[in-house]
Amino acid sequence: MDTMEYTILYVDDEEINLRLFRKSFRRDFNILLAGSAKEALEIIKTEKIDIIITDQRMPEMTGVELLKIVNQLLPDIPPHRLILSGYSENLDIDDAYNHYHLFSFVQKPWQYDELKQLLLNILGHT
């Protein structure tokens, strides 16, 4: 299956980050962007998303909190479809690993090749 069929939702409060993510991955996947957890939830309700990548530190709702709500909305989400990105792992995200189907934590700044490989792994391609 063509990787362009997959939809990835990227959530970050920094506009430049959003732009750059899309520019980097627009040739590989269908990219949807959300500038806040609220926007992300709206998109999740209406679109079919294959992977969610969310920044950890956002105003109003952190990435972990967003993942918690996503789990509530889509209880039968396939495992390992969620990624958190940030500057440092901390205790908060243990919960996310255990209960909210968090697959991986990606350190910023991310490397294009590494991240692409990770995404392909998740989606079942090598």
Partner 1 sequence: MNHCRTLVCIFFICQFCWSGSAQFKNIEEIKALLTLKLCEKVIWPADTQKLYRLGIISDNHQLIEQFKKIDGYNQQTLKHFQTIVIQIHNNLEDVDILYFDQKNLELIKNISNLPNYKKKLIFTENQTSNKEFMFNIITYSNNTKATFELNRANLIFAGFDVLPEIIELKGSEVDVRDLYKQTKKLLLLEEDKVNGMQLRLDNQRNEIEKMTLKIVSLNNDIFSKNVIIEHQTDSISRKEKILLELKKTTVTQESEIRNNLSSITRQKRYIILIDSMIKKQDQNVEKQQKSLANLNKQIKEKEKDLAHKDFILKEKDILINVKNNQIYLLATLTILVVVVVFLFLRAYRINKAAKLSLAEQKEKLETALEHLTQTQELLVQSEKMVSLGILTAGIAHEINNPINFVIAGINSLQKDFEDIIIVLTEINKLKFDDDNLAEEIKNIEKLKEKYSYKEAFEGIYETIDDIRLGANRTAEIVKGLRNFSRLDKDERSLYNIHEGIDASLLLLRNKYKLHIEIIKNYDEYLPDIECFSGKLNQVFMNIISNAIDAIDTTVNGKIIITTQKIDDKVSISIKDNGLGMTTEIKSKIFDPFFTTKKVGKGIGLGLAITFGIIEEHKGSINVISEPEKGTEFLIMLPIA
Q: How far is the CB of 74 from partner 1 (least distance, A)?
A: 27
A 10 A CB-CB count for 100 gives 21
Closer residue to partner 1 in complex, CB, 23/80: 23
Closer residue to partner 1 in complex, CB, 20/77: 20
- How far apart are alpha carbons 33 and 19 in whole angstroms? 8
Closer residue to partner 1 in complex, CB, 80/107: 107
- List residues binding partner 1 (CB under 8 A): 14, 16-17, 19-21, 23-24, 26-27, 57-59, 87, 108-112
Q: How far is the CB of 57 from partner 1 (least distance, A)?
A: 7
Q: How far is the CB of 10 from partner 1 (least distance, A)?
A: 12
Q: Amino acid letter at 91? A: L
